[in-house]
């Protein structure tokens, strides 16, 4: 076993672990199944990446978030750690090559989507891998009582049968007590082993502001905040409109959502991360992999569907442990909007079947075919062609995805990839006999490594710049080599991708389980009620959040709007008693005399006296 502190220093540059990280790592290295509950920004990835590096073999990380898989594998590669992600958006050849590399290629991390677990190729290959740890990221997804239940997560328990003796580390930032118990049950923990740090964020000030003019309030609020921040809204169009509104009012801002092109998103993300843009107005697509420490505020213009979502998004503020603010703006119409989301989020069964039938036709997938084929998909065109309301179609597709029929990758972030299909000796012979390709192949080999063992991401624009030719010339060379079976060239994806996880079936045989429809709808109803309790509550905001996640002994923060209002009420009540007592003792005294007697501002005394006269509590002469 390597020294975990040396690993932390070598790959992450830190001298010490954050609270609880080392306890989780040592529990895992001791071979114990472990459930780790840590807040957003608590450093969950380190708790499984360090022990994986400390042992021989490879760690399998199951996560439903394709964007997070890609971010984490790219970050590991930048640290010169061999990692790969396998999910339904890849071609069959890519999956075959990458799984073989996990057996023979010295990889340390294999990230997989839960849908992969049930495939024959994965179940066969995984038994040939030297697996040292099974990680279940976003572990709350395995519980039907959680806010984001995924039936495919139930396959993880069967994976344990293929990997006897391999310890499990389940991690999540959002789990209520009921969800925590369910995770332990579904993952077959032999003993209850929960390591948990408090979800309390002492440096974060939670505020809820009731206002019927959110944009006006936003301007006023931003004028009092320093530093960078995130403004969350649910609507893509609204991100642009709000950013432009702020710009017109002299506030530096930009917008971000999943509908933008990959290059545009990357540019906006990088500018904000580098401090070149102060405020980003975004949908919740902006969040995965965000680790900017100096975010001073997160403002929600729309009320989130769940407490979990709000807690995670608000938690992106103040990761440097300095004071930061989480502000939720509320108006009366938000109650109606939340109820509408419940109706929209669960289209009727007839509509869901119609969407599934239309999807197969739109993508030209025959009944009985299409399994594991990633297909480009435009939600806008799909909705237009089949005359579906776009939000209805989206939620129907997500319900179909939850049932395990498809996987819908809305944000592919897929660069072009190349894998050489011939060995080096055969490639050399090809170059000798095909001189017109020789310089281009040498350019590829000089620019990148790994072509012979794995699919390697390439940038056609950069290659064109280095070769001093047009991008079209690069495309032609790649396509010709692909046709000649020298390389497998996968062009960069520019659209969303849908993959049929199972062969397409007749829509009349589509089944919707109660766990995915009736129970999920009930859970969403309870989630909305919990959010509204938070919005309309008068107790400490931090305490309400912590109690939701099972921390019953939380202390009031003393800083949120409720704590301040309660403190002001207590002070006012005390002052009313003092004024009443002073007036009773000196009935002839004027207000100036009373204020001097009590050492209070005379205007404050007059205001309180007026309130007492209005409610009939002022002592009569």
pLDDT on residue 139: 92
Q: Where are the alpha helices (DSSP H) in 319-412?
A: 333-345, 349-362, 379-386, 390-402
pLDDT on residue 159: 92
- Cα separations in angstroms, 549 against 17, 180, 534: 24, 10, 13
> Which segments in the chain show pLDDT lower than 50?
1
pLDDT on residue 587: 82
Q: Return the ∠ at Cα 138 (arms to 135 and 144), rounded to 5°.
A: 115
pLDDT on residue 1: 45
Ramachandran angles phi, psi of 195, nearest 5°: -115, 120
Ramachandran angles phi, psi of 107, nearest 5°: -70, 150
- Judge whether 523 and 147 are in contact, CB under 8 Å: yes
Regarding pTM above 0.85, the answer is: no
Q: Tell me: the pLDDT tens digits for 135-164?
A: 999 999 898 777 778 888 888 999 999 999
pLDDT on residue 57: 93
pLDDT on residue 413: 60
pLDDT on residue 321: 87
Query: From CA 542, how far away is CA 50, in angstroms rounded?
Result: 32
Query: From CA 292, how far away is CA 228, in angstroms rounded?
Result: 10
């Amino acid at each position: 076993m390597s020294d975990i502190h040396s690993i932390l220093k070598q790959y992450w540059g830190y001298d010490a672990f954050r609270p609880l990280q080392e306890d989780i790592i040592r529990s895992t290295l001791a071979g114990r199944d472990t459930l780790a509950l840590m807040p957003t920004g608590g450093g969950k990835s380190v708790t499984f990446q360090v022990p994986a590096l400390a042992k021989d073999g490879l760690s399998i990380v199951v996560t439903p978030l394709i964007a997070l898989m890609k971010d984490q594998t790219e970050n590991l590669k930048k640290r010169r750690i061999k990692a790969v992600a396998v999910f339904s958006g890849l071609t069959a050849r890519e999956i075959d090559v990458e799984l073989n590399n996990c057996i023979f290629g010295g990889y340390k991390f294999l990230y997989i989507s839960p849908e992969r677990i049930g495939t024959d190729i994965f179940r066969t290959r995984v038994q040939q891998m030297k697996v040292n740890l099974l990680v279940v990221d976003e572990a709350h997804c395995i519980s039907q009582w959680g806010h984001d239940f995924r039936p495919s997560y139930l396959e993880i328990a069967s994976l344990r049968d293929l990997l006897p003796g391999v310890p499990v580390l389940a991690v999540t930032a959002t789990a209520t007590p009921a969800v925590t118990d369910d995770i332990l049950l579904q993952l077959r923990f032999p003993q209850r082993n929960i390591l948990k740090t408090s979800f309390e964020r002492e440096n974060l000030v939670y505020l809820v502001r009731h206002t019927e003019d959110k944009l006006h309030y936003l301007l006023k609020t931003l004028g009092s905040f320093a530093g960078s921040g995130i403004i969350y809204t649910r609507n893509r169009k609204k991100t642009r409109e709000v950013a432009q509104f702020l710009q017109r009012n002299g506030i530096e801002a930009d917008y971000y959502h999943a509908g933008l092109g990959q290059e545009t998103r990357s540019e906006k993300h990088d500018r904000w991360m580098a401090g070149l843009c102060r405020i980003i107005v975004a949908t919740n697509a902006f969040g995965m992999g965000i680790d900017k420490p100096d975010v001073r505020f997160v403002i929600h213009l729309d009320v989130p569907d769940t407490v979990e979502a709000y807690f995670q998004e608000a938690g992106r503020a103040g990761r440097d442990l300095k004071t930061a603010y989480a502000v939720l703006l509320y108006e009366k119409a938000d109650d109606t909007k939340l109820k509408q989301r419940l109706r929209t989020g669960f289209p009727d069964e007839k509509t869901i079947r119609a969407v599934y039938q239309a999807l197969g036709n739109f993508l030209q997938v025959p009944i009985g075919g299409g399994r594991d084929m990633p297909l480009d998909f435009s939600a806008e065109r799909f909705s237009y062609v089949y005359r579906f309301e776009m939000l209805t179609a989206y939620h129907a597709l997500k319900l179909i995805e939850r049932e395990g029929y498809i996987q819908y990758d809305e944000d592919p972030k897929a660069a072009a990839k190349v894998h050489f299909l011939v060995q080096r000796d055969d490639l050399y012979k090809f170059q000798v006999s095909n001189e017109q390709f020789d310089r281009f192949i040498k350019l590829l080999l000089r620019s990148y490594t790994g072509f012979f063992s794995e699919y390697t991401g390439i940038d056609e624009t950069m290659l064109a710049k280095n070769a001093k030719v047009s991008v079209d010339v690069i495309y032609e060379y790649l396509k010709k080599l692909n046709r000649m079976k020298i390389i497998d060239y996968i062009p960069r994806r520019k659209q969303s991708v849908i993959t049929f996880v199972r062969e397409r079936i007749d829509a009349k045989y589509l089944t919707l389980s109660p766990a995915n429809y009736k129970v999920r709808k009930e859970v969403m109803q309870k989630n909305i009620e919990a959010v509204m309790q938070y919005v309309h509550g008068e107790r400490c905001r931090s305490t309400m959040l912590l109690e939701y996640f099972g921390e019953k002994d939380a202390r009031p923060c003393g800083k949120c709007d409720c704590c301040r209002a309660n403190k002001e009420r207590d002070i006012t009540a005390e002052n009313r008693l003092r004024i009443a007592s002073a007036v009773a003792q000196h009935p002839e005294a004027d207000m100036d005399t009373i204020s001097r007697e009590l050492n209070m501002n005379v205007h404050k005394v007059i205001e309180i006296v007026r309130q007492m006269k209005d409610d009939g509590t002022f002592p009569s002469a």
